[in-house]
């Protein structure tokens, strides 16, 4: 395997840790060391590892249906769609994919088909998946990124054609200059794709989000909220519920699959109907070339939808407790760093946050780049030796299985590490 991994995000120097077990809030590596896990598979495991209710759901689904894949429409597709509609009322229609990456890819294709405009806009520092059109300006170097008022579109991967760079307009996040850029390119841009909370932990300002919603409606630009990280982690209705703003399309992933690969694209009926094989309000079958192609053998996999439904059922009763525990951990960490004389902010809303060693206000990618990553990395590596797992420099996610015992163990580990530094 190139680099010893099957996903580059899993790598860190000098080599990643190999795990062979997990239970509740804990991971166990191949040497038998256990860790309080704050990665949770990059936030996907909202119920922690090996939740018994998910195990039972999977067993029951196989036993009752006699198989684990139909390859046809089935009832769970409808049940899951109704649950999404309950918490995301802007989802008139939806389609299933197998990942958040696939979801954002489909959302952009739907938007371009619907508007007839094929440029897109994304924000500097925002991640939306592993394909060329959005692998731009994720972490641009200082020398390349241009002005803060009008950032350059900078490839974040090899293999990106110059023409693709020109098709994506990069906007400054939490900065009103973004609106002037949108106006300038309004006749070309079919969609604006945004993480309403950058990286899952840097929230947008309310007035910024309101103006973005107003302008996209004004200029016939499809507004897409990428809530793969924030869906069911900020609250049950995601960032759009937090801001009181309804986008045209929403993408979801991670939490909703219960630890299995699942993505959702939902939104306005007239946009989703671009992918319908039949003409609206009739039974007329359309020619393939007159339909936006979307398919996939595993879309709407019954086992995964069953696990996702059970996950959301549990979160309806337990999410508030997760949010409370997250706030407790954030405040305890900030107090500890303050006592040690180290400026630190535990930034984030809901059940995600990041430890940022800086006393400056963090509003976007460029602000974040000014934090003290050298010290943060030292802390993270020492935390691994003390049984706290998060990939160095990554955000923290909590689950329903993180309790007071895990928080106490985490604070004690931080106390030891900071004293050692």
| pLDDT interval class at 253 (50, 70, 90) | very high
* Rounded mean pLDDT, 410-414: 98
Tell me: the pLDDT tens digits for 16-44? 999 999 999 999 999 999 999 999 999 99
H helix runs in 123-176, sequence order: 162-166
Would the pLDDT of 176 be above 90? yes
pLDDT for position 83: 98
pLDDT for position 343: 97
Active site annotation includes 365: no
Residue 286: CB atoms within 10 A of its CB come to: 13
Looking at the chain, which residues constitute the CATH 3.40.640.10 domain(s)?
Answer: 70-300
Active site annotation includes 226: yes
Checking DSSP bridges between strand 352-356 and strand 388-389, what pairing results, if any?
Answer: unpaired
**Cis amide linkage into residue 14, ω under 30° from 0:** yes
pLDDT for position 364: 97
Catalytic residue among 37, 175, 226, 248: 226
Looking at the chain, which residues constitute the CATH 3.90.1150.10 domain(s)?
Answer: 2-50+318-420
Checking DSSP bridges between strand 34-37 and strand 388-389, what pairing results, if any?
Answer: parallel
Tell me: the pLDDT tens digits for 257-316? 999 999 999 999 999 999 999 998 888 999 999 999 999 999 999 999 999 999 999 999
Catalytic residue among 35, 38, 42, 127: 127
Give me the CATH topology for the region 70-300. Answer: 3.40.640
Catalytic residue among 254, 268, 310, 325: 254
pLDDT for position 281: 81
pLDDT for position 337: 98
pLDDT for position 285: 94
pLDDT for position 39: 98
Please give the mean pLDDT across all residues of the chain.
97
Strand residues in 55-164 grouped as ranges (E)? 93-97, 119-123
Q: Report the CATH architecture of 2-50+318-420.
A: Alpha-Beta Complex (3.90)
- C-alpha span between 116 and 189 (Å, rounded): 9
Q: What angle do CA 285, 290, 292 make, to 5 degrees?
A: 105
Active site annotation includes 254: yes
Tell me: the pLDDT tens digits for 54-79? 999 999 999 999 999 999 999 999 99
- C-alpha span between 51 and 399 (Å, rounded): 11
**Cis amide linkage into residue 367, ω under 30° from 0:** no
Tell me: the pLDDT tens digits for 213-230? 999 999 999 999 999 999
Strand residues in 348-412 grouped as ranges (E)? 352-356, 388-389, 396-397
**Radius of gyration from C-alpha coordinates of the chain:** 22
């Amino acid at each position: 395997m190139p680099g010893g991994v099957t996903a580059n995000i899993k790598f860190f120097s000098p080599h990643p840790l190999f795990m062979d077990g997990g239970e509740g809030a804990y991971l166990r590596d191949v040497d038998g060391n256990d860790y309080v896990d704050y990665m949770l598979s990059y936030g996907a495991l909202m119920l922690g590892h090996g939740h018994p209710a998910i195990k039972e759901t999977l067993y029951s689904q196989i036993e009752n249906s006699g198989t684990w894949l139909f390859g046809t429409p089935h009832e769970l597709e409808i049940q899951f769609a109704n649950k999404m509609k309950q918490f995301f009322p802007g989802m008139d229609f939806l389609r299933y994919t197998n990942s958040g990456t696939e979801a954002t890819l489909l959302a952009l294709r739907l938007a371009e088909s619907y508007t007839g405009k094929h440029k897109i806009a994304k924000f500097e520092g925002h991640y939306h998946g592993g394909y060329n059109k959005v692998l731009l300006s994720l972490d641009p170097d200082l020398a390349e990124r241009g002005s803060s008022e009008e950032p350059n579109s900078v490839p974040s991967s090899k293999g990106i054609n110059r023409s693709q760079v020109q098709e994506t307009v990069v906007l400054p996040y939490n900065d009103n200059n973004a609106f002037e850029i949108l106006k300038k390119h309004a006749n070309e841009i079919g969609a604006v794709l945004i993480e309403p909370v950058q990286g899952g932990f840097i929230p947008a300002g309310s007035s910024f989000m309101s103006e973005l919603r107003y302008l996209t409606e004004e200029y016939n630009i499809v507004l897409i909220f990428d809530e793969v990280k924030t869906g069911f982690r900020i609250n049950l209705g995601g960032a759009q519920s937090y801001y009181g703003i309804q986008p045209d399309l929403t993408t979801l992933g991670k939490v909703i699959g219960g630890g299995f690969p699942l993505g959702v694209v939902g939104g306005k009926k007239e946009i989703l109907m671009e992918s319908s094989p039949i003409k609206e309000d009739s039974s007329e079958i359309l020619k393939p070339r007159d339909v936006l192609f979307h398919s996939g053998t595993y879309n709407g996999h019954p086992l995964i939808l069953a696990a996702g439904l059970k996950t959301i059922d549990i979160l309806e009763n337990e999410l508030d407790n997760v949010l409370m525990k997250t706030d407790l951990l954030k405040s305890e960490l900030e107090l500890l760093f303050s006592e040690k004389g180290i400026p630190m902010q535990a930034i984030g809303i809901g059940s995600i946050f990041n430890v940022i060693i800086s006393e400056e206000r963090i509003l976007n990618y460029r602000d974040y780049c000014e934090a003290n990553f050298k010290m943060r990395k030292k802390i993270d590596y020492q935390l691994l030796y003390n049984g706290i797992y998060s990939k160095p420099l990554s955000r923290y996610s909590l689950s329903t299985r993180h309790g007071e015992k895990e928080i106490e163990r985490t604070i004690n580990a931080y106390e030891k590490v900071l004293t050692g530094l």
